[in-house]
A and B are shown apart, each in its own frame.
Chain A
Amino acid sequence: MNLRHLAPADLVPRALEGDRRAVGRLLTLVARVVEKLIADHARPAVLAVDPSSPLSGGAILGDRVRMASIDATAFIRSLATRGHSGGLAMAVPGAVRVLDAGGYSPIIIETVGVGQVEVEVTAAADTTVVVLTPGMGDAVQANKAGLLEVGDIFVVNKCHQPGADDTRRDLELMLDFSHITGHDDPDYRPPILLTDAIKGDGLDALAEAIVKHRLHLDADGRRAQRRMRRLQHEIERRVTARLQTHVDEIMHAPSQRQLLADVADGAISPVQAAEHMTAQVLATAHPTQTAP
């Protein structure tokens, strides 16, 4: 199945954090997909996102290690989250646009995370692929992390390992529930695929599923809808980041120390202190407004 007609289909392979071996397998899967894309004469790009250390602000971006076998036809860029709490580097949407303009397709955003990261990441992509490994209650964890709601395609990697079928069954069950409770898209049921990145099993099926999802999005203008959501989300993130710099300034200003001391003493409540500081943030963000 030829993937080059996916320009630009953004995919987001994901894995659950906490299992470093799982991360390695995810990266191997991504590397295999990229190799296949190159063999199909596509020109893929990969944005590999890793977290920045909250303590030092630095990061170890090691995702390229697993992609060493890929030739320079593919553009691979490692990004650190740089303090952005959503789990996706602020630069990703802009990077996607640049790569798209540069003729790269498809563009794969690869990240590892749990918690609120999912919403952030899926907002950045057309197609979200959630990658799980068997065992360790992965399917249950995925459900808790909210990944079930955002995945367009589910992949159980290392499918020859015992527990793979259990994981698939668990996923099917959970997808049944969301279907009953009103999945937002009654015309599309996310497929659950089994792959083995090392052996190369299941890659064709994965490629097909991605194309199918893409066609599904193109029907009824869903892709345009998702694109609007993506742009809205990006703008919102940028606005929030701008406001955050004002918040940081106010929070760390010396004048706030007295306020914090008052809260610690019980003279005012944290809620009152927050309202006071919010007014100051708004005043500095918009100087013509007078703070109450």
Chain B
Amino acid sequence: MNATATLSEAPVSTDQLKAMLGRPPRVLVTKIGLDGHDRGSRLVAGFLRDAGMEVIYLGLRQTTATIVAAAEQEDVDAIGLSMHNAGHLTLAPAMLRAMSDAELDIPLVIGGIIPDQDRDALYQAGVAVVLGPGATAEEVAESVRRAVARTA
């Protein structure tokens, strides 16, 4: 199973998204817990900024609660979690539960070191996009845009 069920059918540009949303897309980028490998999340923040999006960068050591609170205050269109600690099978569902409890109906994007055999489980749980370490700037931006367009 791949992620196309959670993405808009056709590619969508940032300008098109801007027209749909009435403003540039806002994406929250952060890491949960004690995982300190943040180079990937910084790179992704830059990719999204270069693609015309506004990145609310929360940095390290966040919890599902602080992420939900920030997502609400910042009216973000997607939440991006960077994971390099093999915690994704626990943390991604926990994040989804916290989002659903708060009625945050926006896509969850997971990036980082995710073994191929775990991707299906993540999609089944409700993750919209899984991005591995080889993802290019364009792939990152495009998949985030399509995920946002789907729920916008």
Contacts and interface: CB of A to CB of B under 8 A. Distances in A.
B73 A59 contact: no
A20 B69 CA distance: 27
Chain B interface size, under 10 / 10 to 19 / 20 to 34 / 35 or more: 20 to 34
Interface size class of A (residues with CB under 8 A): 20 to 34
Majority secondary structure, B binding face: mixed
Interface string A39-79: 00000000000001101111111101100100010011110
A60 B26 CA distance: 10
A97 to B, nearest CB: 17
A60 B46 contact: yes
A226 interface: no
Given A68-B61, A82-B24, A57 B52 contact: yes
A80 interface: yes
Interface in A111-147: none
A77 B73 CA distance: 6
A75 B73 contact: yes
B66 A68 contact: yes
Contacts of A57: 14, 24, 52
Nearest to B25: A58
Interface string B52-65: 11111111011000
Given A57-B14, A65-B58, 12 more contacts: A56-B51, A58-B14, A58-B52, A58-B53, A59-B49, A59-B54, A60-B55, A61-B55, A68-B61, A68-B66, A76-B70, A82-B23
